[in-house]
């Protein structure tokens, strides 16, 4: 399938409107309809269900769309690799990361890398651990910084850091003066947590399960900063990363961070990539740089690094 055909087919599949897709592609509507008809004749199946003027991608179309997306991703990777070979000092990295890494460490990591690597550019995506893992699997991005390690098969993984977790409470909370607390003591408390699908929510749920209780969730939100603000307002307590950047917690509102006495109360931060993808030279350089960079940052705990498939 030629590149132009990939473009118009994916546009049509994603919009499911011939007229709208034709306008976006700057084509006449009858022209796009004829192109689709020729493609379906060649494949021997219809890719869309027609209902009046509406079209809907059917089972055949969804299979074809998935393959076209993967083929386009491979072609894009080939172009980036050729560009990197022709211009070794340049290139581009498509990087995804969780919201909690947007203030630190991603900005500093990119800045330090660009000072060392020269003319390599970045395209950035943010989202939940579940969403950005999907972007890696679909080859939309080259690399992602996530926590915890995804359970999705087909991913390469390189651990970067281990962040301590603590119980976040408002200064006036009854536990604010404690030197430490066990999770099991919190069984009746109301928590503020991220929505399911976020990495920190998965860690929290697993910690509560290990402490043998199901948490009472008062609020679910999509940002750790919002979690912290709700806790600071006295609307619940939360388990949050502590000491992510040298000398400070990851949260900015006035909170008290009470150490957790349970074993293994950390979140592992790492980098993932699609094990079947052919990474560009720029992506490989950034991946190696990130591992070395993380090993030299003070204020976070690291262990010996090794690639794992």
Tokens 């977790």 sit on residue: 165
117 and 179 together in one domain: no
Residue 83: inside a domain: no
| Token pair for 261 | 């006495």
Q: φ and ψ at 148, to 5 degrees?
A: -80, -170
What's the pLDDT score for residue 100? 85
Query: Among candidates 180, 203, 158, 77, which has minimal Cα distance to 191?
Result: 203
What's the pLDDT score for residue 305? 29
| pTM score | 0.66
Residues 240-266 have pLDDT tens digits of: 997 543 334 455 568 999 999 998 899
Query: Is the pLDDT confidence value at 81 over 70?
Result: no
Average pLDDT, the chain: 86
Residue 73: inside a domain: no
Percent of the chain with pLDDT over 90: 59
Residue 305: inside a domain: no
168 and 157 together in one domain: no
57 and 116 together in one domain: no
Query: Is the pLDDT confidence value at 303 over 80?
Result: no
144 and 124 together in one domain: yes
128 and 216 together in one domain: no
Residue 113: inside a domain: yes
Residue 232's domain comprises 164-267
Query: Is the pLDDT confidence value at 1 over 80?
Result: no
Q: How many domains, the chain?
A: 3
Residues 35-65 have pLDDT tens digits of: 999 999 999 999 999 987 789 999 999 999 9
| Cβ contacts of 145 within 8 Å, gap of 6 or more | 95, 96, 97, 98, 101, 105, 106, 160, 269, 270, 271, 290
What's the pLDDT score for residue 215? 96
128 and 273 together in one domain: yes
120 and 57 together in one domain: no
* CATH number for the domain harbouring residue 58: 1.10.10.10
261 and 139 together in one domain: no
154 and 278 together in one domain: yes
Query: Is the pLDDT confidence value at 108 over 80?
Result: yes
What's the pLDDT score for residue 90? 63
18 and 151 together in one domain: no
What's the pLDDT score for residue 86? 61
What's the pLDDT score for residue 298? 40
Mean pLDDT of 126-145: 94
Mean pLDDT of 283-299: 81
Residue 230: inside a domain: yes
* CATH number for the domain harbouring residue 260: 3.40.190.10
Residue 309: inside a domain: no
| Token pair for 169 | 């409470």
171 and 256 together in one domain: yes
Mean pLDDT of 223-234: 92
What's the pLDDT score for residue 263? 86
261 and 185 together in one domain: yes
65-68 long-range CB contacts below 8 Å, 24 or more apart?
A: 65/9, 65/10, 65/13, 68/1, 68/6, 68/9, 68/10, 68/13
Q: Angle at CA 253, nearest 5°, toward 297 and 205?
A: 75
Residue 301: inside a domain: no
What's the pLDDT score for residue 172? 94
Tokens 């990361």 sit on residue: 97
């Amino acid at each position: 399938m030629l590149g132009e055909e990939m473009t118009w087919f994916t546009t049509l599949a994603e919009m499911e409107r011939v007229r709208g897709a034709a306008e976006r592609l700057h084509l006449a509507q009858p022209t796009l309809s004829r192109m689709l008809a020729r493609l379906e004749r060649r494949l021997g199946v219809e890719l869309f269900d027609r209902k009046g003027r509406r079209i809907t991608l059917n089972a055949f179309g969804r299979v074809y769309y998935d393959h076209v997306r993967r083929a386009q991703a491979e072609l894009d990777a080939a172009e980036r690799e050729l560009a990197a070979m022709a211009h070794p000092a340049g290139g581009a990295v498509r990087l995804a990361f969780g919201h909690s890494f947007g203030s630190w460490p991603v900005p500093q990591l990119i800045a330090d890398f660009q000072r060392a690597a020269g003319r390599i550019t970045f395209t950035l995506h943010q989202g939940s651990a579940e969403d950005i893992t999907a972007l890696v699997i679909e080859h939309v991005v080259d690399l992602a910084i996530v926590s915890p390690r995804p359970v999705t098969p087909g991913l390469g993984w390189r651990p970067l850091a281990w962040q301590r977790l603590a119980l976040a409470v408002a200064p006036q909370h009854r536990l604010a003066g404690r030197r430490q607390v066990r999770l099991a003591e919190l069984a009746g408390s109301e928590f503020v947590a991220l929505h399911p699908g976020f990495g920190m929510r998965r860690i929290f749920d697993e910690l509560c399960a290990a402490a043998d209780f199901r948490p009472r969730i008062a609020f679910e939100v999509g940002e750790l900063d919002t979690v912290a603000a709700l806790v600071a307002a006295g609307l619940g307590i939360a388990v949050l990363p502590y000491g992510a950047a040298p000398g400070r917690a990851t949260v900015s509102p006035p909170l008290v961070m009470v150490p957790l006495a349970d074993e293994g109360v950390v979140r592992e931060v790492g980098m993932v990539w699609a094990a079947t993808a052919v990474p560009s030279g720029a992506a490989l350089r950034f991946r190696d740089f990130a591992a070395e960079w993380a090993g030299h940052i003070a204020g976070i705990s690291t262990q010996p690094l090794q690639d794992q498939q």
